[in-house]
Structures are given as C-alpha cells and as structure tokens.
Amino acid sequence: MVKIRSHILQNQTHTIKKEKILTGDRATGQLHLGHFVGSLQQRVALQYKYEQTILVADLQGLTDNGHNPHKVSSNILNVVADYLAVGIDPRETTICLQSAIPALSELTMYYSNLVSVSRLQRNPTVKNEIAGKSFGDSIPTGFLMYPISQAADITAFKATLIPVGDDQLPMIEQTNEIVRKLNHVAQDNILVECRPLLSKVPRLPSSDGKHKMSKSMGNCILLNASEKDISKAVKSMYTDPNHLAVEDPGQIVGNIVFTYLDAFHPDIAFVDELKVRYQKGGLGDGTTKKILEECLQEILKPIRKRREMFISDKAQLIEILRTGSRKSQEESNQVLNNVKQAFGFNLF
C-alpha cells in the first residue's frame, strides 16, 4: 500500500517537473552569503519542482578577465563544490560548464548579427558595469556582447523561467528581443521567450555596508569561511555609528547586523523584540553581534563540512560537470541545428 502511494507520488513529481529553469554564475570567485540568500537557497527548493539547469558561466566570467583567465579557471570547481555544499543535488539539477558546450558560442555568433552595438551600449546593466570598471576606451568586445551570449545560454536550453535579481532584468528583455527577431527572420517559432522569476529577497549588503561584496575587500562571508573568519566578519560589521553607549537608542535602518539577523535568524519574533530593545536603548552591539555570530556559525558549519568533503574529491566534481555538460550539449545542439537549418546553413 505504502509502496504504491510513493510510486504515485513519484510519478506526480515527474509530471509536474516540466518547466525549464536556467540559472548561472560567473565563475570568478567562491560563492558567499549573498549568493546563499539571493539565489542558492531558492535553487535548492526549485530543483524539486522544475527541470533546472545551472550553468557555471566561465566564458562570461572571462569577459572582464581576458588577461587573467586563471581567475576564472581556478574557480570552476570551487563554484561546483559550493553548489553541492548547500544542497544542490546533481540528480535533480543539471550542472554544466559553459565553455564545454560549443553550441552556446556558435549561437552567440548567429545572434550577434541581430543586435546593434548601440543596443548593447543601452543595456542598463552593461552600462552600469562599464561605468563601474576601469575599461576606459578599451571595453572588451566580449564584455559588451555578454547579453547576447546570455541569450544564447537561455535559448539553447529552451528555458522559459529565469530566476534573477532585478539587475538581470535587462538581460531577459534583450533575450526576448533576440528571440522575436530570430523567429521573424526564420519565419518559424524556433526559439522560445522566457520570463523572469524575480527574487523577493532583498540584496544582502556587504559587512561594511558600503561596497559590493568582494573577497579581496574582505567584506563578505564565504560559504567555506572558518569559525574564526565568521567571528571576525561579524565583529567588524557596520552598525549605527551614533550608538556609542549601550544605553543610547540605536538605529536599525542601515545597521548591517540587523539586516543579517533579518536574513538569517529563524526566529522573527525574537529579532523583532531585539529591534525594539535596540531602538529604545539598553542593548549593546556586542550582544546583537554575538547573537548573529551564533546564528551564522550554526548555518555555515554543516555547509563548510560538506564543502570540504566535495572539494577534496576533484575527480567527482569533474565527473558531475562532465555528465551535466554532455546532457547540455545534446540539448543545445538541437537548438543550434534548428537555427542553422532555418537559415539554410545546413548543406552537410
């Protein structure tokens, strides 16, 4: 009886798991708590409901690291180990490597003829990123083009749902423009449009509350941070600079310790109580930091342990990537062939 029921349930999950999701990360560094709240936790949940592919975007990582490819290549397995450590399961999620899937680069070449340089320069995300980097007059072509390559990623997998933060919305919009143009040229609905699955979680600020999270700035907590690293990061977190004595009333807004408590502490009522006490005066930063540290230590301990286990078996990580990439090659080759055929580029 129980067996039959579980069999039915299994079948149900298989029939429900239909829509295709694609997400990805540039492989330019280890993943941190910002990724954890912003996307990783969501992916773990989504993998049981959707057919999910996660792309380790090494080629996209190269678009602003052309002279430092090692920064990207040395982080590929780190990112895979991070995925597995948080509970992304390669039996539920296809994990693949962008550079191992040639159809993605080929599709990028076809699509690039349908997108003008000025359209790329108008992409708000690209525009912001260019303003924030020191390219000067030497913007790498690959960088300017990366929205096209991302459109290739999305369409090659026939992904219809793309989990994103709001900075990635322009990529979705540009992808759909390419889809419509290509389908128009091909006179056939070869590519499918996608829609965003917007993350409701607000972006996690860095521990200094000022800059973007980055390992080199030392203002983020990596998923494999040691107990000591976590303790140090929490102790140096930005709070309310005017909250000097314990008795002083303190500010919650912009106080990174409270932002992190909101994001990570499981007991919302308790955190609300702390906020009231802090605002009234009588609650010191030492205490709030201690509570946050305990909470982060508890969350990260099992992740760190699992990550250690996975990173110590590189052969297994490579095998997971190879298997996922093979499956992805097949899927993306089909889309590439459809495009080539529609364009008449299929003599042999």
Q: What does the binding site for ligand TRP look like in residue numbers (CB under 6 A)?
A: 22-26, 55, 57, 60, 150, 153-154, 162
- Residue 78 or 150: the one with the smaller Cβ distance to ligand TRP is 150
Residue 230 CB, shortest distance to ligand TRP, in Å, is 24
Tokens of 324: 């996922």
Residue 88 CB, shortest distance to ligand TRP, in Å, is 15
Residue 42 CB, shortest distance to ligand TRP, in Å, is 13
- Residue 75 or 150: the one with the smaller Cβ distance to ligand TRP is 150
Report long-range pairs for 276-281 (Cβ below 8 Å, ≥24 apart): 278/243, 278/249, 278/250, 278/252, 279/249, 279/250, 279/251, 279/252, 280/249, 281/246, 281/247, 281/248, 281/249, 281/250
User: Which DSSP letter does residue 38 get?
Assistant: I
In this structure, the number of other CB atoms found within 10 A of the CB of residue 312 comes to 10
Residue 99 CB, shortest distance to ligand TRP, in Å, is 12
- Residue 23 or 239: the one with the smaller Cβ distance to ligand TRP is 23
Residue 234 CB, shortest distance to ligand TRP, in Å, is 26
Residue 60 CB, shortest distance to ligand TRP, in Å, is 5
- Residue 161 or 296: the one with the smaller Cβ distance to ligand TRP is 161
* Tokens 């009522």 found at: 269
- Residue 77 or 126: the one with the smaller Cβ distance to ligand TRP is 126
Cα–Cα–Cα angle for 156, 161, 164, rounded to 5 degrees: 105
| Nearby residues of 145 by Cβ (< 8 Å), 6 or more positions away | 63, 108, 112, 120
- Residue 23 or 207: the one with the smaller Cβ distance to ligand TRP is 23
Residue nearest ligand TRP, Cβ-based? 24
